[in-house]
Structure 1
Amino acid sequence: MSDAPALPKTMRAAVLRTPDVSEFTIERIPVPQPRAGEVLLKVEACGVCHSDLHVARGEIAFPRPAVLGHELSGTVVCLGEGVKDYDIGDRVVGGFIMPCTECANCLAGRDDLCSVFFENNRVHGALFDGESRLVDAEGERLNMYSAGGFAEYAVIPVSALARVADELELASAAVLGCAGMTAYSAVSRGAGDVEGSTVCIIAVGGVGLSITQVVAGLGARQIIAVDVSEEKLELARKLGATSTVNARECDVIKTVKEISGGGVNFSFEALGLPSTLGQAVRVLGEGGRAVAVGLAAGDAEVTIPITNFVRRGQELIGSFGARTRVDLPAVQRLAAEGGFSVENLVTDSYALDEINQAYTDLAQGNISGRAILRIA
């Protein structure tokens, strides 16, 4: 184990302050300290994701003031009590679902359903003990969305970590912690064995492009990408799509069925709209399975053609996040082996001071792949 570096007493962080303001303010706050089973990371980069945008806009409820940022990479600089599996200096990526490892769902291998994480973190902005690790300059609590990666340092439980291979650029590897592992789980658990199959991915933003890479890396025979952006469709072709469909220019269902010869084995919907999830079901062939990945606004619902769905033996399954302890190391290995390009997925990067511009660009659809904040 290498010696721990000297740490500063304060750090810069992007703070979301009041409920009616969606912009972040850059503040200098104390560097947090890890507790048992946790490490402190010097954050290299953090992904610019729609989930944080929804929180900032108040579309997803979360207590403020808060530090967001759930898709991060960095270097271990301090170990909490009892941590033996990681050393000072390790390059790691952090998953946005941080499993407690002890609840019934975690014990059943369903990290994606960890009740302790969702109750303590997503409802109360804390870690497993019900407390945040962050305070502001006046000593007042700051809530944490996942590990609070929009800061120069972040505390994260070791259950949410995976080492990053030397072959991968550490900053770009941040995208494995949300887009990458979400895609891997949607394919490996949601769909199953995709080798030799026909696949359709509807909406190829950061997650959809990640799914494109995963199904290509796992041997899908035909990969049809659907979107309204030619720029995103071009990137999808670069990342493994064999065909692309511009939804503005044609009947998506008819076109996908023509390309696939009657319907696909698997479809993935990564936007969260009733219309696109309906398309994901309707492009299936006999015995096909649709995997819903995108989150919808409010209580949005989808309709499906019941008789056709039943007679053709089709399936619809939801897939949120990932089984962090299984899927995060797995997608990291896939990337290290060349089956998932983090560098090609990252199309835009910003400094921490540019966080508000990054989220303006994301909201306006100006980011074709995934953007990151380079924080180190």
Structure 2
Amino acid sequence: MSVQIPETMRAAVLREPGKGLRVETLRTPRPNADEVLIKVDACGMCHSDLHVIGGAIAFPMPAVLGHEVAGTIVELGQGTEHTGLAVGQRVAGAFLMPCGRCPACATGHDELCGPFFDLNRLKGVLYDGTTRLATPDGDPVYMYSMGGLAEYAVIPATSVAPVPDEIDTVPSAILGCAAMTAYGAVRRSGLQYGETVAVVAVGGVGSNICQIAAAMGAKQVIAIDVSDEKLAPVTGFGATATVNSATSDAREKVLELTGGRGVDVAFEALGIGPTWKTALDVLSDGGRMVPIGLGAGVQTAEVEINRTVRRSQSILGSYGARTRVDLPAVVDMAARGEINYKDLVTRRFSLEQAGEGYDLLRQGGIVGRAVVDMSL
């Protein structure tokens, strides 16, 4: 099967931190060895993109962001013949793109892939040390993950999973970050059937944590946020109770809901000091706090040392997930209806409206998750 691939494409380009995104014409990228090219149907809009857009996290410029995508494979690079991937196949792409060869990847720890951090996250390139994106004149444009805010994107073959026909393509873009990050956190938190959970900050990732924790057997799932608007929908995503920590004492409310114990596992999904404190405050003796949210630049959070030590509490950092095993599992949960990914997508923007969407996200104006829909 062959597909006609245009020489150029549209992409939302960030040329300077704080200056916003501008749609430009770039050369259509082509895959190198062990990579695939997809025609992007949709790209999710993640809070961590804001750190790059605003300049809180340094990244090479100009750049194309966007790290959770859904689309169709239109070209295969060399070495992908035995992956089971094929031109014409619909796939979801994950933000965490393991090289598959480093010591961490060799032991199954995709989330600790050294080349991903050293090359992609620091230099905006793929694993041969070059970017796949360029202006029509040939000037390099750097890639945050696969650079999914574009009509076409190159992704390492390790980082895509086929999606079945019953999956709705556009909202499925969130499976590769919001859902996969939540799955990785819950799966490796040690959550046991019948344990209690709190989720602090219920945006796209936090809402997914609620429903995945419920699907994995949590007895109580308590959603905590400072916005009643964001808390309102989460009872439809597995939360058994909600707490507004801006208008009430989260610790007192959680103790009341759990018979004075606190929760076994508290997930923190925003990456700021106050939400870290809340997550630690609601923990039971022997509980686990699992931070997921990325801070803007270098941030710190206070930990009450004696309480953590005396009450045998743990802090278990969780970055993304183990892409090669977790992304297919997330797609399967979505296909079987265990993840309600469709209703989590509450806003759709065209590529030209991407900057507007990120402005709303920065202002806290997005409930759930927004996506850039390439058909608009």
TM-score (norm 2): 0.97
Q: Which residue is 1:233 aligned to? A: 231
Deviation at 1:329, TM superposition (A): 1.0
Q: Which residue is 2:243 aligned to? A: 245
Distance 1:113 1:52 in 2: 20
Q: Which residue is 1:60 aligned to? A: 57
TM-align CA RMSD:
1.1
Deviation at 1:10, TM superposition (A): 1.2
Deviation at 1:177, TM superposition (A): 0.7
C-alpha contact (below 8 Å) 2:51/2:297 kept by paired residues: no
1:224-373 matched pairs, under 5 angstroms? 224-261=222-259, 262-373=261-372
Deviation at 1:322, TM superposition (A): 1.2
C-alpha contact (below 8 Å) 1:194/1:215 kept by paired residues: no
Distance 1:157 1:193 in 2: 31
Q: 2:219 aligns with which of 221, 228, 232?
A: 221
Distance 1:195 1:54 in 2: 36
Q: Deviations over 1:104-147 (max 9, x none)?
A: 11111111110011111111111000001111121111111110
Deviation at 1:305, TM superposition (A): 2.7
Q: Which residue is 1:206 aligned to? A: 204
SS of the equivalent of 1:285 reads strand
C-alpha contact (below 8 Å) 1:98/1:146 kept by paired residues: yes
Q: Which residue is 1:80 aligned to? A: 77
SS of the equivalent of 1:318 reads coil
SS of the equivalent of 1:373 reads strand
Identity score, percent: 50
TM-score (norm 1): 0.97
Q: Which residue is 2:28 aligned to? A: 31
Q: Deviations over 1:148-197 (max 9, x none)?
A: 101000111110011112221011111011111110011111x1233211
- Does residue 45 of the first structure (1) align with residue 42 of the second (2)? yes
Q: Which residue is 1:182 aligned to? A: 181
For 1:7, give the aligned amino acid: I
Distance 1:192 1:347 in 2: 31
Q: What are the ranges of 5 or more consecutive residues in structure 1 without an aligned counterpart?
A: none
Distance 1:56 1:177 in 2: 20
1:150-165 matched pairs, under 5 angstroms? 150-165=149-164
C-alpha contact (below 8 Å) 1:73/1:174 kept by paired residues: yes
Deviation at 1:209, TM superposition (A): 0.6
Q: What are the ranges of 5 or more consecutive residues in structure 2 without an aligned counterpart?
A: none
Deviation at 1:41, TM superposition (A): 0.1
C-alpha contact (below 8 Å) 1:64/1:142 kept by paired residues: yes
For 1:146, give the aligned amino acid: S
C-alpha contact (below 8 Å) 1:202/1:267 kept by paired residues: yes
SS of the equivalent of 1:185 reads helix
Deviation at 1:299, TM superposition (A): 3.2
C-alpha contact (below 8 Å) 1:187/1:194 kept by paired residues: no
